[in-house]
């Protein structure tokens, strides 16, 4: 597991781009399937899929200076095929 270099004080709210892959601060790369731009903190959300097929909606997405991402919490997690 990768060590966290940044804290939430370094975080910038952002809208993940559909089709792009992002590395989480835990070192896992996730594919964005659908991003939603927001005006409020909780509006910055996206559907992600892990390499093992776990899909979920990430809420309050943020990006750090090194390009890694995080989110405040996730919803609707489930396994998918492909």
Residue 65 in any domain: the answer is yes
Question: Distance from CA of residue 41 to its chain's centroid?
Answer: 14
CA count, 13 A, side-chain hemisphere, 63: 13
Which pLDDT value is given to residue 1? 47
pLDDT over threshold 60, residue 2:
no
pLDDT digits (tens, 9 = 90+) for 21-73: 999 988 999 999 987 665 555 567 888 999 999 999 999 899 999 999 999 99
Which pLDDT value is given to residue 39? 57
Residue 2 in any domain: the answer is no
Q: Which of 74, 59, 75, 67 is nearest to 27 (CA)?
A: 67
By the 10 Å C-beta count (0-12 exposed, 13-18 middle, 19+ buried), 43 is classed as: middle
Residue 16 in any domain: the answer is yes
Residue 32 in any domain: the answer is yes
Structural domain of 74: 8-79
CA count, 13 A, side-chain hemisphere, 45: 12
Residue 28 in any domain: the answer is yes
């Amino acid at each position: 597991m990768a060590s966290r270099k940044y804290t939430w004080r370094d975080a910038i709210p952002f809208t993940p781009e559909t089709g792009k892959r992002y590395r989480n601060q835990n070192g896992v790369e996730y594919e964005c399937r659908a991003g939603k731009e927001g005006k409020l903190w909780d509006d910055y959300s996206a559907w992600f899929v892990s390499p093992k097929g776990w899909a979920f909606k990430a809420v309050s997405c943020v990006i750090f200076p090194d390009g890694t991402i995080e989110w405040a919490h996730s919803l609707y997690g489930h396994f998918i095929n492909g």
